[in-house]
Structure 1
Amino acid sequence: MSPIAARLERLPFSRFHFKLLVMGGLGFMFEAIDAAIIAFILPVVRTKWHLSSFETGILGSSTYVGFLIGALFAGLLGDRFGRRVVMMWALTFFCVMTFANAFVSDWHTFAALRAIAGIGMGAEGAIIAPFLVEFVSNRYRGAFTGALAGFFSFGFVAAALIGYFVIPLSPEGWRYALVLVSLPVIVLLWWRRSLHESPRWLEIRGRHAEAEAVVADIEQQVERTGVTLAPVTPVEGDAAATHGHSGSFFGNLRLLWKPPMAKTTLMSWCLWLSVTFCSYAFFVWIPGLLMQRGMTITKSFSVSILIYLAQIPGYYSSAYFCEKLGRKATIVTYMALACVAGIWLANAASDTSVVMASIFMSFAMNGVNAGEYAYTPEVFPTHLRATGMGTASAFGRIGAICSPMLVGYVYPIWGFAGVFGITTAILLFGALAVIFLGVSTSGKTLEEITAEEYGDGSADGNVNRLKTVR
């Protein structure tokens, strides 16, 4: 039995959790601004540097090369050295590199710096969900994480507003936009003062005094709001069970592919690959594709704001259904809706039809994203949670790297039908992986999920299976 987990599970949603939601949500918002702003910069620098469609696709993909590296190593480092330090240094690295990117004069340097900055943002984005989910009770964990991911939508809308109001100001407007995107470094002052290390992670690393101090501080913050805490109820799980694992840098990576965890790892990698491929094929290229259909840059960017606004109900409706229907059902349902949107886009003939289908695609794809971020951290045990999330996110970035280049190649040949026909097929592949390989997590503590799926909380199935404490 884990006393730290039991004390965290009894906490009601409070001001502390809301503050945690905002801190982590801002991190996701910054990642989304960075991911989306390139969609508004590409049409400008394509003309400025006389780029081909394929070269433009390389620029669109460059960030995600860095995202892949950052996400992979964030997970490995987060399980080895802690979540908090990775989250803070990753944001610092991203902001510094993005600021430098505003002053380049050729597309090769631009692509290189985008990739380097992407390492920081990929690391920061991959660590947030497995970090913050460990503070939250199972009673609202799905809604919390879905709402946390919902901040991505605010980032895309913010990027669209920057694209609409700042980039057209002058031929150098794209540089001003990148300077604005680098400003989030100032939130580190807040994070450094207010963000605790995960007490669950501290406990499994044997740092019991620190874990106790963090939980005691959280309890005091909750009680200061006038809440009387319920008695501690034992929960399933034994933090000591993971002490036998070395936690070595690549040892954790090997554990992910040992039965019975290999099935979960395969599912999460397939899910992230399909969702990330389709999200970035759509969101990176849609302003440019609208322009290629004859829209002016101003009209394309204004329509993109509407498309990105549709993300908000997509994320938050999915956060609601993650608790009501369960994570698996929510993910598959929104994937089915995205497939419908993809078929609609593939056959859209008029500008109005393209815009309406794009709004529906934006809604559905981000419903999938919310479910994905709620689900993935839950299916891995604490000592591998950041590694599991980070590697899934990193593998998904292969889709983000390939999709902008593939769209740049496919669109001139097959148009919207080719681009969104491919999108629909890949979404179907991801949905099938979740249906057949996914596990049920709703209404269970993180420790209960680990015990039911992996026995002793490890990947290698040792004999000390945990008993449920009631």
Structure 2
Amino acid sequence: MTDTSTAETVAPRLDRLPFTRTHLKVLTGSGAGWALDAMDVGLISFVIAALVAQWDLTTEATSWIASAGFAGMAIGATLGGLLADRIGRRSVFALTLLVYGLATGASALAGGIAALIALRFVVGLGLGAELPVASTYVSEFAPARMRGRLIVILEAFWAVGWTASALIGFFVIPNVPEGWRWALALGAVPALYALVIRWGLPESPRWLARRGRQEEAEKVVGSLEASPPLFGSRAVRPPVAAAQPAPTSGLGVGERLRALWAPALRRRTVALWVVWFCVNFAYYGAFIWIPTLLFSQGFDLVKSFGFTLIITLAQLPGYAVAAWLIEVWGRRATLSVFLLGSGVSAVLFGQSSAEWAILATGMALSFFNLGAWGALYAATPEMYPTSLRATGAGWAAGVGRIASIAAPPSVPLMIGVGGIGLVFFVFAVFFVVAAVAAWGLVEGRGSALAD
């Protein structure tokens, strides 16, 4: 049973709030989980490079380690979104952290490539479900006038985690016997953090209201209203009302999936899936392979990891600029510009051979690509009403993960045909297609979330 009037009461109260201490708790609590996710994904790029050297594996064989994780992510993203719309955002967030944290720790004990591939699939199940659920969760707390910026800041925690993985890759993997095992063992940290998430953060009041749990929703909103403001003031004018699709509360799994393709949502679903597919293919194809590609070009393991660390640091200013522009230009323009910048940077990176050029173009690729990710995660939850939000975000991410499965094995094939230059030209084409598709999304700047 759901209560529409309660949901309508909760939403404007949330949108009028300043940024409070409770908002900061939700943002940093979710962001820390996001950073741990990034650390896990980033670590596997360094592990692959180390295994090529230590286990004498072919690049084709090691590519399946990455693809197994992304296969799990594809399934996890679709199931996680469905579960989050049914049992709640916070519970699924904690469960996914627990699954992938334990599986990552176990993968440190893998005795061969088959066991490692199997464990990476389980890691992917948890990781794939967590990311779209976390962005949905934070978006449902954020006031409309600052929602896009806060989601980009949430996504910026990815850079923190990836930088942590680069530091571990640089200092631990090449310098410690079986260093890749110690690196993966650190991935067990999220299993402990899951307990903090589960009991330390409130459930989404929008989701509670839609599920008819009025007293719980009122309690969460009341705590936000009583929380000390950190910046901003209470909004006087309500945000622009979002277009309200047909009610979807209480639908079963199959009905919710069909609802994503209802006439009012069909165009945005197509555009969103195309963007997610193209960005995943280009991003994971490039960044999973950068340490290994540098190693294959004659740089030793330490130097290739050091270059990757420097390139990774450029993610942070990319997020910062996107966080500012997304409330100035809007979601679509910011996303499109950063994707076009990614495409140009990819072509230049593929043609670079001098060390300074590799660093400069790699940093540009990192800057633009991660800024685009921030804009994409900000836009995605705004495409759907509350009862479909996690399902829609999860399925878009799941479609994207199909591309991330295909990307790692495709890189050795493309290298065999046309070298690294061809690889990054193909990635640039995917970025350009995504930039065009971004204009099919609904612009959510300054609008209330559809409930």
Which TM-score band applies after superposition, normalised by the shorter structure?
over 0.9
Q: Specify which of 360, 370, 394 is matched with residue 366 of structure 1.
A: 370
Partner of 1:135 in structure 2?
A: 141
- 2:49 aligns with one of 43, 53, 59: 43
Deviation at 1:212, TM superposition (A): 0.9
Contact 2:239 2:448 in 1 (8 A): no
Could you report, residue by residue, the CA deviation over 1:259-309 in whole angstroms, capped at 9, with x for unpaired residues? 121111111111111111111111100011011111010000111110000
Q: Unaligned 5+ residue runs, structure 1?
A: 448-456, 458-470
2:158 pairs with 144, 148, 152, which one? 152
- In the other structure, the counterpart of 1:321 is 325
Correspondence for 2:120: 114
Q: Residue 69 of structure 2 is aligned with which of 41, 63, 81? A: 63
Are 1:270 and 2:263 counterparts? no
Amino acid of the structure 2 residue aligned with 1:193: W
Q: C-alpha separation between the residues in 2 aligned to 1:194 and 1:238?
A: 33
Q: How does 1:13-412 map to 2 (within 5 A)?
A: 13-222=19-228, 236=241, 242=247, 245-412=249-416
Structure 2 Cα separation of the partners of residues 432 and 22 of structure 1: 33
1:353 shift after superposition: 1.5
The one-letter amino acid paired with 1:413 is: V
Counterpart CA distance in 2 for 1:264 and 1:233 is: 25
CA deviation string 1:108-137 (max 9, x = no partner): 110110011110111111200011100111
Distance 1:403 1:235, change over 3 A: closer
Identify if the C-alpha distance between structure 1 residues 273 and 105 changes in structure 2 by more than 3 Å, giving closer, same or farther.
same
Q: Distance in 2 between matches of 1:324 and 1:172?
A: 48
Q: What's the CA shift for 1:100? A: 0.9
SS in 2 for 1:136: coil
Q: 8 Å contact 2:245–2:265 — kept in the other structure?
A: no
**Shift, 1:206, TM fit:** 1.6
> How many angstroms does 1:432 deviate by?
1.2
SS in 2 for 1:150: helix
Q: Distance in 2 between matches of 1:33 and 1:119?
A: 16
In percent, how many aligned pairs have the same letter? 36
**Pairwise CA distance, 1:233:** 5.5
For residue 166 of structure 1, report the CA deviation from its aligned partner. Answer: 1.1
Q: Distance in 2 between matches of 1:326 and 1:226?
A: 22
User: Structure 2, unaligned stretches of length 5 or more?
Assistant: none
- How many residue pairs get aligned? The number is 445
Residues 6 and 232 of structure 1 are in contact (CA less than 8 Å); yes or no, is this contact kept in structure 2? no
Please, which of 438, 441, 444 is the counterpart of residue 444 of structure 2?
441
**Cα shift at 1:357:** 0.8
Looking at structure 1, the residues matched to 329 and 138 of structure 2 have their Cα atoms a distance apart, in angstroms, of: 22
Relative to 1, partners in 2 of residues 1:106 and 1:381: Cα closer, same or farther, differing over 3 Å? same
Query: 1:322 & 1:196 partners in 2: Cα distance?
Result: 27
Aligned partners of 1:219 and 1:240: how far apart in 2? Answer: 29
CA 1:222 to 1:50, structure 2 compared with 1: closer, same or farther past 3 Å? same
CA distance, structure 1, for counterparts of residue 312 and residue 72 of structure 2: 24
Describe the shift of the 1:135–1:172 C-alpha distance in structure 2 as closer, same or farther (beyond 3 A): same
Q: Is the 8 A contact 1:49 1:106 kept in 2?
A: no
Q: Deviations over 1:317-362 (max 9, x none)?
A: 1111101110100000001111110121232232321221111101
Hey, what's the Cα distance between the residues in 2 that align with 1:424 and 1:230?
42
Distance in 2, Cα, partners of 1:337 & 1:266? 23
Amino acid at match of 1:157: T
CA separation in 2, counterparts of 1:152 and 1:251? 33
The Cα shift of 1:241 comes to 7.1
Letter in 1 for 2:444: T
1:412 alignment partner, SS class: helix
Per the normalisation by structure 1, the TM-score is: 0.90
User: 1:239 & 1:285 partners in 2: Cα distance?
Assistant: 43
1:245–1:10 Cα change, 3 Å: closer
Distance of 1:320 and 1:232 partners within structure 2: 22
- 1:346-385, Cα deviation, whole Å (9 max, x unpaired): 3223232122111110111001101001111111111100
User: Which amino acid in structure 2 is aligned with residue 129 of structure 1?
Assistant: S
3-state SS of paired residue (2:19): coil
Contact 1:33/1:159, CA 8 A, preserved across alignment: yes
RMSD between aligned residues: 2.1
- Cα pair 1:49 1:107 within 8 Å, conserved: no
Residue 245 of structure 1 deviates from its aligned partner by 3.7
Verify the 8 A CA contact 2:342 2:428 in the aligned structure 1.
yes
Query: Which AA in structure 1 matches 2:418?
Result: W
